Amino acid sequence: MASPADRFEQYRNYLRFLARTQMPLHLRTRIDASDLVQQSMLQAYEAAEQFRGSSEAEMMAWLCQILAGVVSHTLRDQHRERRDIFREQAIQQHLDHSSVYLASAFITSDTTPSMAMRQEELAKQLADLVEALPESQRDAIILHYWQEVPLRQVAEILGKTPAAVASLLQRGLATLREQSGKLLP
């Protein structure tokens, strides 16, 4: 049987992707998504005996909950504001939304139960693909598609023209389509 560290490690890119979707760009110079994931992994490892789930979906949800706590505490520390339970709940909801959106990227309306069982694995694999993109493409895709930032605003954030961002999105999506074709049976 795999050790808790081995079980958690397979979710590292998935969690990094989710952390990126929640991190405001103005804080990315001070806070790295990998640091948030590392802190989450450490907490998960320390609390491994408390995990009561049995499925991969339950493991992913538990790790996302830990990540949501780490993200909310980090953001609170950066803003030095008092604890705001509504902001913490909003972060968990955003992570849940990002996780569902990521997992549903391959799922169609005619999905069979056996295909639905692969949903979590495909979500992890898609997160791996997004994480493997060049940084500018990855940031453009996360901002535009997961954080739903309009194209012009993405261009401002990234310091590029709207045409350059459109090109980044096009190339990034083409790479994702090409690579995701290898994931599907």
> 42-72, pLDDT tens digit by residue?
999 998 888 888 788 888 888 988 998 888 8
For residues 159 and 153, is the Cβ–Cβ distance under 8 A?
A: no
pLDDT band at 169 (very low <50, low <70, confident <90, very high): very high
- The dihedrals phi and psi of 97, each to the nearest 5 degrees, come to -60, -45
pLDDT of residue 113: 52
Is 60 exceeded by the pLDDT of residue 100? Answer: no
Cα end-to-end distance, the chain, whole Å: 27
Degrees, nearest 5: CA angle 146-56-138: 25
Among 54, 95, 49, CA closest to 72? 95
Is 50 exceeded by the pLDDT of residue 107? Answer: no
Domains 4-118 and 133-185 share a fold: no
Q: What's the one-letter identity of residue 79?
A: H
**In angstroms, how far is CA 87 from the centroid of its own chain?**
18
Of 174 and 102, the one with more pLDDT: 174
Q: How much of the chain exceeds pLDDT 70, in percent?
A: 72
Domain ranges of the chain: 4-118, 133-185
pLDDT of residue 106: 44
pLDDT of residue 165: 94
Is 80 exceeded by the pLDDT of residue 91? Answer: no
1.10.1740, 3.30.2120, 1.10.1760, 3.40.50: CATH of 4-118: 1.10.1740
Mean pLDDT of the chain: 77
In CATH, what number does 133-185 get? 1.10.10.10
Q: Spell out the alpha helix ranges (H) of 23-134.
A: 33-46, 56-79, 85-103, 113-117, 119-132
pLDDT digits (tens, 9 = 90+) for 109-162: 455 555 555 677 777 888 888 889 999 999 999 888 888 889 999 999 889 999
* Residue 168 per-residue DSSP state: H
Question: d(Cα 10, Cα 149) in Å, to the nearest integer?
Answer: 29
Residue 23 to residues 45, 58, 109, 185: CA-CA distances in angstroms? 23, 24, 31, 33
Mean pLDDT of 6-27: 82
